[in-house]
Structures are given as C-alpha cells and as structure tokens.
Amino acid sequence: MINGEILSAYMRETAADMLALIPPVRRGVDDAMAAHCTDALARAAYATLGTAENLDAYTLLSQRAPEPSAFCVSALALSFLTGAAGICPSAKIRLAGCAEPMWACGSARLFAVCLGNIICNSIVYAGEKIDITVSIEKYKNNINIAVRDNGRGMQAKISEAAFEPFVSFDPYLDKPERPSLGLGLAIVNAYVHAYKGTLAVQSTFGSGTCIALSLPACAPAAAPPLPDFCADRYSTLYTQLSTVCDLPILVV
C-alpha cells in the first residue's frame, strides 16, 4: 500500500524545488516564449502541490482524522470565496445568506481543501458564463453548506461514482483522457463521514450541479485566526484552484 503521507511530502519537496528555479530564471529572461515556459512550470508546480495536499488530506481522513474542533464555517467560506472570486476572473463566485456567524465542528484546514475541490470542479466543467453560489444555513443542530453551479451537470452513471477515491471521468463523457487524480470529491465524502456529517449530490445533465453537505453545529469558541488565503502564495486557495486561477507573482 502506498503511504500517502510520504508520497505527498515528496511531491511538496519536488514542487518547492521547481518553484525555487523560477525567480532567478525569470529575472534574466526577456524572451516571451521563455517567460511562457516558466509560467507553465509554475502552474505545474502548483498543481503538484495541490495533488500532494489532496493525498495528505485523504490519508488523514481515511486513517486518523484530526480531532474535531469549533470553527466559524461562514467566516472561512467568505474568506476563501472572496479570494477565489479575485483570482478567477472568468467565474462569478458568491456567498449567499450568512447574516450571522455560523460555527461547525470539524477541521477548518480540511474544510478549506474540500471547498477548494468543489469550486475547482465547478469552474473546470462549467460553461462560458460560470456562476457559482455557496449558501450556508443553520437548521436544528446542523450547519448546511450547498455549492451550486450552472454547469452542464453530470451523466447519471458519473454522479453515482463521483465520491469514490481515484475515480475520475469527464462528466460529459466527451473526452477520452482521465482529467485528474480523482480524489477531490472523495475527500469531501471522507470529511463529512469523519466529522459525523452528511453529503448529497444533485445533478441533472444539462442543468448544473449542487453539492450539499452538513456538519454538526457547535457553540462559538476560541479558535486560531483564519488564514489569509490571498496573502499566502502557497495557501489552499492557490493550490486547489491552480488549474483555473491567476497565480500569484513569484518574481519581484
């Protein structure tokens, strides 16, 4: 069995080495093609970091999920989605509702990974006018989070297997290649099960997809400050959206 933690650590080191090569190369490059190549290298490195993050998250959730703790899910979502809207100019991304802070029980860091994977899928498989709405509401003892997009939806046989690990298909079944590693929605599934939540997908081919998850609600509590997703150029925001976003500037 592959040790996901060791593999993800190796991938992070490799990606860090790749990124370290970019600044000195770019400083001495004027040629447009060379600049394009270094940009492609940066995107590949970020994608590698995202894959490592997903492997690490899936390994943790499958074997020994971090102890649940209180976090303000509405504040984290607002911070992440505001950042996503800023670096993904082709998409309209917004948070609906949340008139008051809503606290859930789970892992804030891994929730951000889940949210990043869902948003990335929505952008990758959406149409020309990407519209993504995230809603958060409290119902009884649960916090319900729903991510809706206006994409083309998934074929029925694809949605049935969407949450299986290492299963990846083009949801429209019109491309021969496997588009990704196939861990994104499996991480979301593992997350809600690890923290006693629920998960559902509603997708009609041709009319978009809604991923709905719920987590146990909890009382407000002292919690670490939320990460500044935009300021940290290696944050989950960039690693999870690297294939669809504007990457941070690596050369000054």
- Alpha carbon 195 to chain centroid distance? 18
Band (pLDDT 50/70/90 cuts) for residue 137 is very high
**pLDDT of amino acid 1:** 42
**pLDDT of amino acid 159:** 73
Q: Residue 241 pLDDT > 70, yes or no? A: yes
Summarize pLDDT for 1-56 with one digit per residue, the tens: 455 666 677 677 777 777 777 776 666 666 676 677 777 788 888 988 898 899 99
As a whole number, mean pLDDT of residues 149-158 equals 82
**pLDDT of amino acid 127:** 73
* Burial category of 219 from C-beta neighbours within 10 Å (exposed 0-12, middle 13-18, buried 19 and up): exposed
**pLDDT of amino acid 72:** 96
- C-beta separation of 125 from 173 below 8 A: no
**pLDDT of amino acid 235:** 96
Which DSSP letter does residue 217 get?
B
Summarize pLDDT for 200-210 with one digit per residue, the tens: 999 888 888 99
Q: Residue 220 pLDDT > 90, yes or no? A: yes
- C-beta separation of 139 from 217 below 8 A: no
As a whole number, mean pLDDT of residues 108-125 equals 95
Looking at per-residue pLDDT, the higher value among 133 and 51 belongs to 133
In what helix (H) or strand (E) does residue 104 lie, and over which residues does it extend?
A: strand 103-106
Band (pLDDT 50/70/90 cuts) for residue 172 is low
The fold of the 69-225 domain, in CATH, is Heat Shock Protein 90 (3.30.565)
Instruction: Report CA-CA distances (Å) from 192 to 62, 106, 110.
Output: 11, 9, 11
* Tokens (6 digits) for 138: 């409290």
**pLDDT of amino acid 163:** 84
Q: Residue 175 pLDDT > 90, yes or no? A: no
Band (pLDDT 50/70/90 cuts) for residue 214 is very high
As a whole number, mean pLDDT of residues 178-198 equals 88
Residue in 174, 171, 177, 176 with CA at minimum distance from that of residue 158: 171
The angle, 0 to 180 degrees and rounded to 10, between the axes of the packed helices 108-124 and 73-87 is 40
SS3 97: strand
Burial 118-147 (b: 16+ CB within 10 A, else e): bbbbbbbbbeeebbbbbbbbbeeebbbbbb
Residue keyed to tokens 């400083």? 27
- Alpha carbon 99 to chain centroid distance? 24
Residue keyed to tokens 């790749």? 18
**pLDDT of amino acid 8:** 74
| Cα distance between residue 234 and residue 49, in whole Å | 8
Q: Residue 176 pLDDT > 50, yes or no? A: no
As a whole number, mean pLDDT of residues 123-128 equals 81
**pLDDT of amino acid 5:** 65
